Structure 1
Amino acid sequence: MKLHVNGTEHEVAAPPEMPLLWVLRDLLGMTGTKFGCGVAQCGACTVHVDGVPRRACVTPAESVVGKQVTTIEGLSKAGDHPVQRAWTELDVVQCGYCQSGQVMAAAALLAKLPNPSDTDIDQAMSGNICRCGTYPRIRAAVHRAAEIAGPRET
């Protein structure tokens, strides 16, 4: 099957029901998307499918054929997406395991809502679990990323 990931078309020999997470990690070598729980509860495997955050651990590969998949590796070539810049600037990461999913969720939020409130951030990020408890830094970084991105028309 042909999958369009991070702007490149890939031919993958995978069973149609194989979770997108394992296609990305094992077949395409994109290990930025993490396995956390395997049941779509923790958010470590968050990717964008046509701009919408999805849990790759429960998304069958066949369901993304013909769609644009973006992983943490494809968010920006130089790691300079406003969310990535804010994460670095505010030193959000502690252990780091959940952070690619956190970054992808934050990027999707800001694409939809350029100037979110604390409540907007808390609601949008609530499905992404950080066992180190960096939630205050995550919230601050989402606000900072909005500042970095600057005003946009909605």
Structure 2
Amino acid sequence: MQRIIVFLMFILLVSCEYFKVKKTSSDFILEEELQSFKWNEVDEYPTFSICENSNSKLETKQCFESTITKAITTQLMTENIIVTQDIEDTIYIKFQISEKGELSVLKIKTDSITSQEIPNIEDILISSLDSLPEIFPAIKRSQKVKTEFMLPIVINVN
């Protein structure tokens, strides 16, 4: 009988280890969360009211980019651009959309020939962005965030 009691006491003492709760520090949780956090992705892309019917993240992004491209193309088509040589160039526009939905152009990268033939190309591009509808900012973890985009615009002038 004593052996059984000793045996039960031994099992009781050993099994106590299984009931201990390991405490996790808040710093460890934060570090783990920061490592899994994707800094270059957003939960929802910036959008316009006309893009609200988009079902997926990819469709929303495509609608957003096509709306901006359409505004720029429309403005370029209304301009009377006269050149001395054919131009076939891709212009890269880097812009930022703030947490408040304000669009600002950061950089426009053009070829030197394009800048020489169409000296006001940057002004035309910037003014075309003024006609855009209201922009709703990107969302990351239920917070409105600032985003940057690089948009290529192909220019063909004959």
Tell me the TM-score normalized by structure 1: 0.32
Larger strand percent: 2
RCO comparison, higher one (Cα < 8 Å, 6+): 2
User: Higher Cα Rg: structure 1 or 2?
Assistant: 2
